[in-house]
Amino acid sequence: MAIGAIDAQRRSADRLAHLGRLDELLHHLRRQASRSAEADVQEVLDWLRRRIGVDVALVVGAGTVEAATAGFPRDILGPEGPTSLLARLARGSVAAAATQVGEVRLRLEALGPGAPHPVLVVAGPRQVTREAASLISHTGSVLDVLRRVRRADATARGYDRKALQLRFAVFQALMAGDPVLARSMTVGAVPPLLDADRVRVHLLYCGPDNRERIAATYQDARGYHGPGLLVPCPVFNGHLICPIAEDPNAPDATRQAELLRRLVRDNPRYALGISDAHALRATADAYGQAVHALAVARHTPGRVLTYRGRTPLARVLPRPQALAWAAAFLRPLAAAPKTTVDLTRLAVSFHHTGVARLRGVSRNTVTAHVQRVEALLGLDLRDVRSRAALDLALSLADPGDDAAADRRQAPTLDALLRTPAATAWARAFLGPLRDVGRAHTTARTWIEANADAQRTARRLGVSRNTVRSHLRTAERLLNRDLLTTRAGLHDLVHALHALRAIDAIDAIDEPPA
């Protein structure tokens, strides 16, 4: 009777120990399923080795060891090993088997519901106990789940990559002013953004480590983001570009815009720049406004700012004279390929590396196209005034646009900027700097020094950091980005030129930096 009680206690203790091992195994499963890293099959095999004292391998295909404990005798799976038995297990002809190769006893168990099955192989000097066999089977089930999780994760990551590539391609087409091309890329699953008449671009600064996570968190089942897109900016690592359909009757659009604002409220390092509403084909203009707004928003208390820019210079110039000047200025580009003009249009505002990333070409390709334009126009586009002139011309007309041509004598840019409309625009543009003399002087000197902060600092007798601080003040007052991209420089150049604060293009006194 005493012996029976002892046996019962031993069996109870064994069951408790077995349950404890199962709990450990489930802990491995929960921990690996909850972490972002790829499922670690090796970790589970090593755990099983420590618990039952024999070596284990996971075998796939025609005897390939996917993972194994350090002491597993791999040579037993060679031509003299249980190859036919492994093949039967992989096909699903049998679910489990035991055999012996030399002095090594093998236990083999097929995993998963579908062929070809991976096979869990246990190798040891003796037959495993019943409790160990049970633990091996449970471990096999966990390994099967982890492998499926790994495959599912790989599939999801692949889907996310493809979805991101598609969103970026759609955004590229919108930036090129071609909504029809953007729609054709979506293969039937057209996002609501592409059915909208107008768009408002939200540009979120969230740092390079967060933007992919944010885009993935709010991605819908089709790979989009409801009424908008979330596209990591290829030019600036910390930016997330968010074009959202502008529809006051669409609650989803309002919710998405509010989501971005809430992210900024909850994260003190985030900032948001918002454009005016634009026609869908003018997404590039909306993006430019969002860039300007973000540059200012990052240095304001609320860190959220809607673009407050004034009417663009191109819209206030006397139309016939402006079109005549632009047509004459761009005439040498009439035969240039559209790609050359499109890349150069971007290159006057972004550095060549940024343009290359934005358009999916090499930096050398961008440089070659820009050099072709420089040769045709006789300009050095490293000079800020030359870039500003070309940007203004391209905002007024396209190369070879006969409708823009005027039979009258084309005025010079200097004459165009002397017109009352241009000078009134310039006074209004520079007005916010009027009472901040240091910012005005620094901005003017910076343009005269070809936007070179070090040269500006030498001329003013201050540090380079002081120059940048004054320019940040100018950004805030002018509501223009001056330091992140080069787009905000153009209006500053034209305003200073119109008020005779700087020389015309043909009177540059220093070589470009």
Rounded Cα distance, 169 and 179, in Å: 11
Dihedral of alpha carbons 470, 474, 475, 481, sign: negative
Given a cut of 70, whether residue 503 has pLDDT beyond it is: no
Rounded Cα distance, 151 and 374, in Å: 52
Task: Give the rounded percent of residues in the chain with a pLDDT score beyond 70.
Answer: 86
Query: What integer is the mean pLDDT of 80-107?
Result: 87
Instruction: For 23-69, write each residue's pLDDT tens digit.
Output: 565 665 556 655 555 567 888 888 888 888 889 999 887 778 888 99
Given a cut of 60, whether residue 9 has pLDDT beyond it is: no
pLDDT category at 81 given cuts 50, 70, 90 is confident
Given a cut of 80, whether residue 475 has pLDDT beyond it is: yes
What was the pLDDT predicted at 406? 53
What was the pLDDT predicted at 328? 92
CATH topology assigned to domain 2-152: Beta-Lactamase (3.30.450)
Rounded Cα distance, 170 and 186, in Å: 8
Element (H, E) at 313: helix 313-316
Q: Say if residue 410 is exposed, middle or buried (CB neighbours under 10 Å; 0-12, 13-18, 19+).
A: buried
What was the pLDDT predicted at 255? 84
Query: What integer is the mean pLDDT of 391-396?
Result: 91
What was the pLDDT predicted at 1? 47
Three-state secondary structure along 334-392? Answer: CCCCHHHHHHHHHHCCCCHHHHHHHHCCCHHHHHHHHHHHHHHHCCCCCCHHHHHHHHH
Within the chain, all domains assigned CATH 3.30.70.920 are found at 176-306
Tell me which of 144-148, 155-159, 485-489 is least confident.
155-159
Rounded Cα distance, 138 and 124, in Å: 18
CB 175 within 8 A of CB 349: no
Within the chain, all domains assigned CATH 3.30.450.30 are found at 2-152
CB 386 within 8 A of CB 505: yes
The H-assigned helical ranges of 66-220 are: 83-91, 130-175, 179-184, 211-217
pLDDT category at 512 given cuts 50, 70, 90 is very low
Task: Give the rounded percent of residues in the chain with a pLDDT score beyond 90.
Answer: 32
Cβ-based neighbour number of residue 198 at 10 Å: 14
Residues 6+ apart with CB under 8 A from 164: 215, 231, 232
What was the pLDDT predicted at 23? 58
Given a cut of 80, whether residue 506 has pLDDT beyond it is: no
What was the pLDDT predicted at 10? 54
Residues 6+ apart with CB under 8 A from 502: 385, 444, 447, 448, 493, 496
Question: How close are the terminal C-alpha atoms of the chain, in Å?
Answer: 99
What was the pLDDT predicted at 190? 76
What was the pLDDT predicted at 410? 86
Residues 6+ apart with CB under 8 A from 339: 369
Tell me which of 76-90, 110-124, 468-482 is least confident.
76-90
What was the pLDDT predicted at 408? 61
pLDDT category at 401 given cuts 50, 70, 90 is low
Given a cut of 60, whether residue 4 has pLDDT beyond it is: no
Instruction: For 404-427, write each residue's pLDDT tens digit.
Output: 455 567 899 999 999 999 999 999
Instruction: For 293-314, write each residue's pLDDT tens digit.
Output: 898 888 888 899 998 877 889 8
Instruction: For 149-187, write each residue's pLDDT tens digit.
Output: 778 777 777 777 777 778 888 888 888 888 888 888 876
Given a cut of 50, whether residue 143 has pLDDT beyond it is: yes
Given a cut of 80, whether residue 15 has pLDDT beyond it is: no
pLDDT category at 468 given cuts 50, 70, 90 is very high
pLDDT category at 201 given cuts 50, 70, 90 is very high
Query: What integer is the mean pLDDT of 481-503?
Result: 84
Whether residue 318 has a cis bond before it, omega within 30° of 0? no
- CA torsion 139→145→148→154, rounded to 10°? -90
**The whole model's pTM is what?**
0.69
CATH number, span 176-306? 3.30.70.920
Instruction: For 215-242, write each residue's pLDDT tens digit.
Output: 888 877 666 777 788 888 888 888 999 9
What was the pLDDT predicted at 507? 36
The mean pLDDT of the chain is 83
Side chain identity, residue 378: G
